[in-house]
Amino acid sequence: MNFRTPPPFPPVILDDVRGARKMLSGVARMTPMEGSRHLSGLVGAPVHFKCENLQRTGSFKLRGAYVRIAGLSPVERAAGVVAASAGNHAQGVALASALLGVRSTVFMPVGAPLPKVAATREYGAEVRLHGHVVDETLAAAEEYAQETGAVFIHPFDHPDIIAGQGTVGLEILEQCPEVRTIVVGVGGGGLAAGIAVAVKAVRPDVRIVGVQAAGAACYPPSLAAGHPVAIGSLQTMADGIKVGRPGDVPFELVRELVDEVRTVSEAELSSALLLCLERAKLVVEPAGASPVAALLSAPESFRGPVVALLSGGNVDPLLMQRILTHGMATAGRYLSLRVRLTDRPGALATLLSVLTVADANILDIGHVRTDPRLGLTEAEVDLHLETKGPEHCEEVTAKLRGAGYLVTE
């Protein structure tokens, strides 16, 4: 196979990022940085959140989209732009286009969260739903560009996009000059590449760690192969980093400048999102919580001070509900049990009194009498309980068994 020959010079340099920052003045906000006492305690050094979830449109994507569109010629602007995205890039392109007076068309997957679709339309873009994964949507947008002459605005595979995203890195250096590690989520690689360009040029000692969802991790095999490799199966709740192949342009920069790319599980993503909401009072989408997941999974492996980039906060409320439930279960905050008892008056009340003593909150209860495994005078009760953590789960189970109940989990 023939692979793209790397350019003899970097596609993006520090001056490009500095130029992008001037262009973004008055457009993108300098988002705040917040400390995390909980994670600082785990890591043994200061941990800060860079809150791009509080950026306009709810993610960092406005930065790169605006720089890319602002750099178009008058003829190109007149032809309009087209993009493909599961949500964040879509909103960035839509708002950037509106600010610059450019017509925009955005292709989104059929299953894209409704709040993201609605927000993209409200920013002024024409939205077309096509495909079920981002790669299919990208192909449709590229075909539209060829047919109409509209300029395709890639979500990560362009130097202007990377330069725009790199402005986050400049802000991190200003807000936390003592930073020693930056942790950033990685999809196609535009954000990680941009930050690496900006940070390594000024502070080559800063370690940059990329994080991917284990079910959509295209960078580890690509880095091992030395060129972008497409992966077949993409299974993750983190749609913002659900990308099947690294971009050609960011890949070269990530390979050269990013120190490590790790993966995190779905359970770790759920726990990270729950921590952001409960401890930091921040609404963060799964992709944006991936750096927090990495810190939770191996806190001792990070040298502080650490900056974890919360890249976005656009999450469907229904998905948020499911993720939080999953996160609480992973954290041992939910306990599901089946308890067998004698089917007689007062038996259920006696069971509930044991749970009251154990200080477990009952969320749901179901009575089973017709299972053929049960004896004539037996019944089973399905219990869904809210608990205080893994130790409390063990305590509740022990109290039930100590009271003589047969308990199955």
Active-site positions read 61, 311
Give 116: exposed, middle or buried? Use CB within 10 Å, 0-12, 13-18, 19+.
buried
Give, to the nearest 10 degrees, the angle between helix 390-402 and helix 347-357: 140
CA nearest to 89, candidates 239, 206, 303, 260: 239
- Number of residues written out for the chain: 409
Partners of 127 in the β-ladder: 106
Q: What is the DSSP letter of 337?
A: E
b/e map 244-265, b = 16+ CB within 10 Å: bbbbbbbbbbbbebbeebbbbe
Q: How far is CA 312 from the centre of its chain?
A: 7
Instruction: Report yes or no: 2 and 227 within 8 Å, Cβ to Cβ.
Output: no
Tokens standing for 307?
Answer: 């900056």
**Which amino acid belongs to residue 135?**
D
Distance separating the N- and C-terminal Cα atoms of the chain: 52
Partners of 49 in the β-ladder: 34, 308
